Amino acid sequence: MSDDKNIKKYFENIPYGNDSKSSEIHGKANQRVINKLISNLVKQFDALFASGDKEGSQTISDLIKSIARKLDNLKAIKEEFAMNYGGGTGGKNLFSNYTDLNWERAFFGEGGTISFDGNFDLLLTAIDPAGNPIVKRIEDITENWVIKGTEEADYMKYHQDLVKQGQTAVKHPNFDIDWAVDKLLINMDAWKIFVSDKIGGVYFLQEWMKENQEALTSGEITDDLLHPDSFDPNNDTRLHVYYANRLRVAFDSDYKTIRDGNASSSNVGGRSKLSLDQKMQQQGIAPNQREVASSSNVGGRSKLSLDQKMQQQGIAPNQREVASQKRSTPSQTEAPNQTEAVI
């Protein structure tokens, strides 16, 4: 059974309730470790108090309370993890794929161990899938958590709006696409979700790799440029360009044709302008027919070249010079020049 199924099954059948002690919800082995430590501290407290060492006994008392608070915090984090992992809206996992949850699945499924350092801070150890022990402190657990919110819905709202605008006669969207995308990516580091999770049914990284397959195969794009962190929009533009172009295509379906071909002919701020060759291809006219098509004065009489007119009259192109000479040479039957007649 996969780690994902194991932890979901664990939370479905968890034997603890809201009234369970913070020391018992991490398994019996860990509970014994905690109880042993607290028991020793209580003995020290009793001895110091009995000897009249109020300051020493107060120190021990504060330490016991501190450990209890830390265990309460750990319990709250476990409950939060359980809620986000499978207890969210519709029972969906609300964690972004950006978040590495191997440690959490192991530890919160009672597969980890609890120990204490010299300052009585909790050391929480779990084994990762490669068999390596990973040690965290309480404050480290949620540090890299990325929880999905309304990021996909916000982006698709822009997308659907642009589709509707594109079906009208407007030449420009009623908002700045680059500004909108930048705001979406930067807000609360949402770019981590846009790079790792499905947005509108599409994974960014899969599409980006497909578009750059040749460069990936040749080694022009190295492995480090495929790590999610390499797409941080604070240092890189690839994520921004991809999502901005998706919105531009939503507004103007010709934009992708231009982007893949003659990008210089694109009016990015509004409707795209196809080059003549692209328009002719859409109309089924081969590129080698461009010169013939360009000779047409659309909307009026067609303007045929001299060769085309001669072909219509049954005169081969190599007879063009002969025909020209005939027009310039007088006929033998014409009357003699009047000057010669007078002489």
Residuewise pLDDT in 10s, the chain (343 residues): 578 888 988 988 888 888 899 999 999 999 999 999 999 999 999 999 999 999 999 999 999 999 999 999 999 999 999 999 985 556 789 999 999 999 999 999 999 999 999 999 999 999 999 999 999 999 999 999 999 999 999 999 999 999 999 999 899 999 999 999 999 999 999 999 999 999 999 999 999 999 999 999 999 999 999 999 999 999 999 999 999 999 999 999 988 665 555 444 444 455 655 544 554 555 555 545 544 444 444 444 444 555 555 555 555 555 545 444 444 444 444 444 443 333 3
> What's the domain range around 199?
151-251
CA distance 97 to 196: 6
Co-location of 21 and 49 in the same domain: yes
Structure-token pair, residue 4: 């994902």
Co-location of 165 and 192 in the same domain: yes
DSSP 143-193: TT--B--SHHHHHHHHHHHHHHHHTSS-SS-SS-HHHHHHHHHHGGGTHHH
Co-location of 79 and 137 in the same domain: yes
**What pLDDT score does 157 carry?**
98
Co-location of 135 and 23 in the same domain: yes
List Cβ neighbours of 23 (8 Å cut-off, separation of 6 or more). Answer: 30, 31, 34, 35, 38, 71
Specify the number of domains making up the chain: 2
Look at residues 251, 280, 313 and tell me which one is the last residue of a structural domain: 251
Co-location of 126 and 164 in the same domain: no
pLDDT tens digits for range 67-123: 999 999 999 999 999 999 985 556 789 999 999 999 999 999 999 999 999 999 999
**What pLDDT score does 298 carry?**
43
Look at residues 111, 141, 171 and tell me which one is the last residue of a structural domain: 141
CA distance 196 to 202: 10
CA distance 190 to 96: 10
Structural domain contains residue 279: no
**What pLDDT score does 14 carry?**
86
Co-location of 46 and 137 in the same domain: yes
Co-location of 170 and 239 in the same domain: yes
Look at residues 141, 160, 183 and tell me which one is the last residue of a structural domain: 141
Torsion sign (Cα): 100, 103, 109, 114:
negative
Co-location of 99 and 74 in the same domain: yes
Co-location of 57 and 121 in the same domain: yes
Structural domain contains residue 106: yes
Structure-token pair, residue 249: 């295509």
Structural domain contains residue 275: no
Q: Where are the alpha helices (DSSP H) in the chain?
A: 3-12, 28-50, 54-86, 102-106, 138-141, 151-166, 177-186, 191-196, 204-211, 213-218, 238-251, 254-260, 276-282, 290-294, 306-312, 320-328, 338-342
Name the region of 112 (left: φ>0; alpha: ψ -120 to 50; beta: rest): beta
Structure-token pair, residue 38: 């607290």
CB atoms within 10 A of CB 154: 16
Co-location of 36 and 135 in the same domain: yes
pLDDT tens digits for range 200-233: 999 999 999 999 999 999 999 999 999 999 999 9
Structural domain contains residue 41: yes
Residue 232 · residue 190 · CB < 8 Å: no
Co-location of 163 and 242 in the same domain: yes
